[in-house]
Structure 1
């Protein structure tokens, strides 16, 4: 069978395919049309050292792929009986692969996904030097690199930019780290990301804070005109990496909060055939599984497909509660011409949960209710159901030089309905409280379009880079709700029969924004790069009441011709170390009105950041240190002279510093570690002057995960993993939780080259803590100790 270095996925769930995903999978299965083979354009690549002995070609190729950090696939019969002259010295990936294949009649080809494959050289090309058509060294793809250290990112400029050359804090949760830590949800990934606080909401969703603010979200670089908060996201089995840019991202995002943005990047088809998967079982009868199949669909490899299915089912640590999730994802990639690649994908996911529980808040005397972690404060008949569907497509064309044009479009839609109950307000000392039963239903659709052109140009004897583009984002939503209040219940003896909850309130909401943006990287000197950018934005929104009585649409103040600047400077001290400074900006429309019903100007978030980045050990280890200061200006505060109106005199400051290390510092060691120091303060606010602005985010946060593969021959099949999350004190307006630490551990056994078993224990010492602090309403405990056994396979 053909062999490949591929991304793990997961196996063995009988999932019901939703219409969009089923159509995509059928499309991939049916696509067998042969199209022209891709062009081969040698790209400038950074060299690295190799010491591969002469010998069998297949062994030489395996060694080369490991050293280069690439995915390389080929049919063993293609190289059977062949020898390689070996490779010694410093070479770029394309040149090194060419030398290994010298005289074999084979060449290396890379698809848009970044994976490498071998093919025979056509008879009329036999004299040509085998080359590669994608710049592997600059690729942002993390699949197959087997590393926690990202080489490049796309969140800061649409096209892959070396991580070290981005003058902002960017963290990448690679595919390897996701698999090593058995992550399944976006919340799992962001809980590990430096500078991000992930807080569960109690209904299966979460909200995410960074540098004092709610995080924005992008999907393959397309801004969603929506934050990441309170939305059930697709299973991580669908994604190749998670990029986290911290600080204002208005240049490419448009409007939003100064937190930054999370870019979720989908898996693409690999260059060669691959299948991988995993199954796991653990505490509270939780079972998970996924399967990932990728392969070329024609002999030339110009049509490639990939399907991913994932699911999980099980209880939660509460006395009542059950979660179920089902995902299906399919993607097709077609080389329409030697220079043009078309991608189309579809995904569908269903999330069902029983037992929504927001927890209790506090007693009337101010003390925390502090129940057992297993206590359940919802109604046992409450359910929540969400169905998500997504369609994505992009078209990429490479011109004769290194200019690239790309157009991308995404349509996402979610529909949900739920019924639940919760403790409403303060709890009496006799454990009674008001209780609310609530029903909700709604749907939301997002559409995003981005068209951009990027490439390099020469000026004054130096090579520079330019990106120009336009994008459009639309959000269209409908929500309905109804509630019934029960005057007094005993929170520890809830017995509330099922009842219908009429939906008595409903509304439509609509928002859209579009903008024109440009960014250029100017090489002022060999070690000095100036990054300049700007965006002109337009934003509008409106709402309409539907229940209890239909009403006309009501528009909120729009934003027109809002300019968002960006500037950065990168100085390369050595080829491994760079120093940088940057200014970034973003705006957020406000709905409050000034005297005379005049619209308020938007809030503006501006950040100054300085830092250093280093790439060490031939790209195996990344390290960074950054200091930042954000000023959130023009915040609406009550007009002291005109009751009911507002003025833009509020100001908040967020400042701190971060340190991060990820990659492989030594043989057999994989490491992810980061520290954040954060201070947020109201600088100008009549009621909050001098107070902490974002008390749910700890001042000090340390995150760590490390895995060690034993190097001794007798233990070489074993690895151990250790993780820690250390937080300083937090609060949510009432009371304080002291600092706490949560530790995780893992033991792994490599059965053979394809199979890996891991036993993972999260919250090893069963620490009791609040993941969401109590306030007047609600609280959520952190998950108690849990155990998970996972069997993972990759072919």
Structure 2
């Protein structure tokens, strides 16, 4: 009986075609017909990249199973061929061929590659061999980046529930790997997305941020479960909990359901490892900021069928303002159990508390339209203001691998966040004598998200070729309570805010509830050896309602629901050479609207549709990824004022977002790790009675370049040293009241490898202490980018 292990990514396949999808009724019939087809395990050729191995000495058959999982290959051998044999194990980084040869050293066996790309064991040439029954160690492709020591991903899950080779995805996808997170000492989702090509990360001033991509707010998923909520203004768990961050740009309606056409960010949690390990770091930096984390993973029984992992992380320190403090603590634990050799159950829980003192949204502009431009250290909040949020999460997953390579999976996540805050801010234009209105505000709220997904994936044979199919359903629910109150004080000197502690009564509040569910299907049809067609479709249902609670409780009020919303997807991948391919794709998404047409009729949802073409390449035996993409995105059916019926709306608004992106990640030379990308973006109102022809998303730069590179010195005398360099270069931006010119921010790092387990780094962000606005001034509010920050980190791994 085949034993499932992870499979390596297949050779590069890409395509180029501007494909306009038609109704996918025929595709749906094909998908349903495929379920009746006999499933067959598709065997893929191994990617000759370096993999990390930690295989202990012991029986050879068990070592071969571990090798197949780590290398991601299909490996077949006769049981009698290895009976009674032992191996001295394998530790380190090797290509598949070299690693297998080392593991088999002294056994009289060798591995050969079959026509399908899988490996088979035989006695070395010249030895006798009998005709024995063969068993297969099959595999499931993995998208994990942990332990790979790579910046270049091999596979992703954000575009399909099936781990799909990065090079085979006909859309723009960036992966911030675990290695890059560690190298740049990232601790927050904001840190990771600030480095991602095509994403603009903007701090809000209260410890949260909002993220823009291709003109719109990014959606979020957790291990592929859509949260029925955007990523904006939400405190997320510390990155110590996550194995990678996947960023899909462009409409993601096939698996997301409703949402904005920006795309989605998939946060993928760490899982227990097969071998024991412990790692952690401590750091101290500017403004007395201290951080630390510890990560322990190990099998919990001799057979390795029960595995556990715990992660703890914390931060404590001030900010660059004259006043302000932040404290954070995370605890995360996960357990995986192999109920049978083919069934795995996982369960995890996480809790994090974020406490801040001194929220500061900054000032805006003077009454004459000029920026206030205070010193970066100036504080415009109230020093007694506080914000406190507690986030809890429960996650469980059951996965069963059938004979023949089919996989069924059910996942559920429950997240709850509660917050309580009181703060003050400059509210309105500032007089030339630095006097403005000032608002004190108190807020309280809690939000619960529940998400469920079930899916079945596998391979089937049709017309002599092997194809792939995914069928699934998911459900997402969001239930939120929020209440607030405020008090406005006139004539406050913004440079002398001496307001005593004040209690703020909650005067307004509401409950909101939304839910959506949908059925989705996706197939990858191998039309010819170099040509793959991807077709997908989703049918969605969405509903929401709200209830006013303060000052007077009211009945629930439902907004227009969306029923049987059809969302298509299509892509084509064409392999030009084994290393370079071209692709084209069409993707779609919808977003419900609450405005009403004349006669109180509901408006149809907004729809976002994107055409994208591009090329992807995997070079240097899989060590280096490169991509180039061009896109045109249309946001249709936008609500605009009905000129014939004041107070009502029509769906005649349109926005266009277009541009191109280039990205490189991986290791272009020995000792060099690199992530670099450029984005050119143009957004514009195509049809709007007020904003016709204007830029739609002026906070996003037209030109953005991002770079991070690390070099491990190769000269023997300097072999313990490494150096890092980063840059973020932006063109001009504005938020409606004035323009900020382009700017550049540079980072640098110097590291010393104490021994195989310990590494010390000295990192300087904003090396030249550039003064710039991370959030541009509007009528009020503005946030400076962080000044020069020096951090010393000590990192260990065993």
> What TM-score bracket applies, with the shorter chain setting the length?
0.7 to 0.9
CA gap of 1:359–1:765, structure 2 versus 1, over 3 A, is: same
Q: Is 1:48 aligned to residue 53 of structure 2?
A: no
Mapping of residues 393-412 of structure 1, within 5 Å:
393-412=396-415
Is the contact made by 1:750 and 1:756 (CA closer than 8 Å) also made in structure 2? yes
Is the contact made by 2:68 and 2:137 (CA closer than 8 Å) also made in structure 1? no
Q: What secondary structure is seen at the aligned counterpart in 2 of 1:203?
A: coil
User: Where do 5+ consecutive residues of structure 1 fail to align?
Assistant: 1-40, 73-78, 105-126
Deviations 1:598-645 (A, max 9, x none): 000000000000000000011100000000000000000001111110
- Take 1:494 and 1:168, find their aligned partners in 2: how far apart are those partners? 50
Q: What secondary structure is seen at the aligned counterpart in 2 of 1:714?
A: helix
Report what 1:548 is aligned to. Answer: 551
Q: CA deviation at 1:42?
A: 11
**Range 700-709 or range 571-580, more displaced:** 571-580
CA gap of 1:365–1:791, structure 2 versus 1, over 3 A, is: same
Tell me which stretches of 4 or more aligned residues in structure 1 moved more than 3 Å: 41-45, 49-52, 65-72, 79-87, 89-104, 127-135
Report what 2:293 is aligned to. Answer: 290
* Match of residue 647, structure 1, among 645, 650, 655: 650
Mapping of residues 255-266 of structure 1, within 5 Å:
255-266=258-269
CA gap of 1:469–1:582, structure 2 versus 1, over 3 A, is: same
Is the contact made by 1:677 and 1:701 (CA closer than 8 Å) also made in structure 2? yes
Is the contact made by 1:42 and 1:132 (CA closer than 8 Å) also made in structure 2? no
Deviations 1:227-283 (A, max 9, x none): 000000000000000000000000000000000000000000000100000000000
Q: Is 1:619 aligned to residue 622 of structure 2?
A: yes
* Match of residue 225, structure 2, among 218, 222, 227: 222
User: Where do 5+ consecutive residues of structure 2 fail to align?
Assistant: 1-40, 74-83, 110-131
- Take 1:735 and 1:50, find their aligned partners in 2: how far apart are those partners? 50
* Match of residue 425, structure 1, among 405, 414, 428: 428
Is the contact made by 1:234 and 1:349 (CA closer than 8 Å) also made in structure 2? yes
Mapping of residues 259-658 of structure 1, within 5 Å:
259-658=262-661
Q: What secondary structure is seen at the aligned counterpart in 1 of 2:344?
A: strand
TM normalised by structure 2 equals 0.87
Report what 1:21 is aligned to. Answer: none
Q: CA deviation at 1:81?
A: 11
Report what 2:254 is aligned to. Answer: 251
Deviations 1:505-533 (A, max 9, x none): 01000000000000000000000000000
CA gap of 1:50–1:57, structure 2 versus 1, over 3 A, is: farther
| Aligned positions, number | 720
Q: CA deviation at 1:700?
A: 0.0
Q: What secondary structure is seen at the aligned counterpart in 1 of 2:740?
A: coil
- Take 2:71 and 2:789, find their aligned partners in 1: how far apart are those partners? 35
Is the contact made by 1:70 and 1:145 (CA closer than 8 Å) also made in structure 2? no
Q: Is 1:134 aligned to residue 144 of structure 2?
A: no
Deviations 1:99-121 (A, max 9, x none): 458479xxxxxxxxxxxxxxxxx
Is the contact made by 2:71 and 2:96 (CA closer than 8 Å) also made in structure 1? no
Q: CA deviation at 1:574?
A: 1.4
Deviations 1:564-597 (A, max 9, x none): 0000000011121110000000000000000010
Q: Is 1:674 aligned to residue 674 of structure 2?
A: no
Q: CA deviation at 1:48?
A: 2.5
- Take 1:664 and 1:90, find their aligned partners in 2: how far apart are those partners? 15
- Take 1:402 and 1:647, find their aligned partners in 2: how far apart are those partners? 50
Is the contact made by 2:72 and 2:139 (CA closer than 8 Å) also made in structure 1? no
Q: What secondary structure is seen at the aligned counterpart in 2 of 1:596?
A: coil
Q: CA deviation at 1:134?
A: 3.4
CA gap of 1:172–1:311, structure 2 versus 1, over 3 A, is: same
TM normalised by structure 1 equals 0.87
Is the contact made by 1:84 and 1:102 (CA closer than 8 Å) also made in structure 2? no
- Take 2:696 and 2:279, find their aligned partners in 1: how far apart are those partners? 45
CA gap of 1:129–1:293, structure 2 versus 1, over 3 A, is: farther
CA gap of 1:774–1:514, structure 2 versus 1, over 3 A, is: same
Q: What secondary structure is seen at the aligned counterpart in 2 of 1:187?
A: helix
**Range 535-544 or range 93-102, more displaced:** 93-102
CA gap of 1:514–1:733, structure 2 versus 1, over 3 A, is: same
Is the contact made by 2:51 and 2:71 (CA closer than 8 Å) also made in structure 1? no
Q: CA deviation at 1:314?
A: 0.1
- Take 1:480 and 1:101, find their aligned partners in 2: how far apart are those partners? 71
- Take 1:358 and 1:50, find their aligned partners in 2: how far apart are those partners? 47
* Match of residue 168, structure 1, among 171, 189, 193: 171
- Take 1:129 and 1:186, find their aligned partners in 2: how far apart are those partners? 47
Q: CA deviation at 1:159?
A: 1.4
Q: CA RMSD in A?
A: 2.8
Q: Is 1:792 aligned to residue 795 of structure 2?
A: yes
* Match of residue 199, structure 2, among 188, 196, 201: 196
CA gap of 1:51–1:207, structure 2 versus 1, over 3 A, is: closer
Q: What secondary structure is seen at the aligned counterpart in 2 of 1:48?
A: coil
Q: CA deviation at 1:167?
A: 0.3
Q: Is 1:697 aligned to residue 700 of structure 2?
A: yes
Is the contact made by 1:170 and 1:246 (CA closer than 8 Å) also made in structure 2? yes
CA gap of 1:47–1:659, structure 2 versus 1, over 3 A, is: closer
Q: What secondary structure is seen at the aligned counterpart in 1 of 2:501?
A: coil
CA gap of 1:508–1:577, structure 2 versus 1, over 3 A, is: same
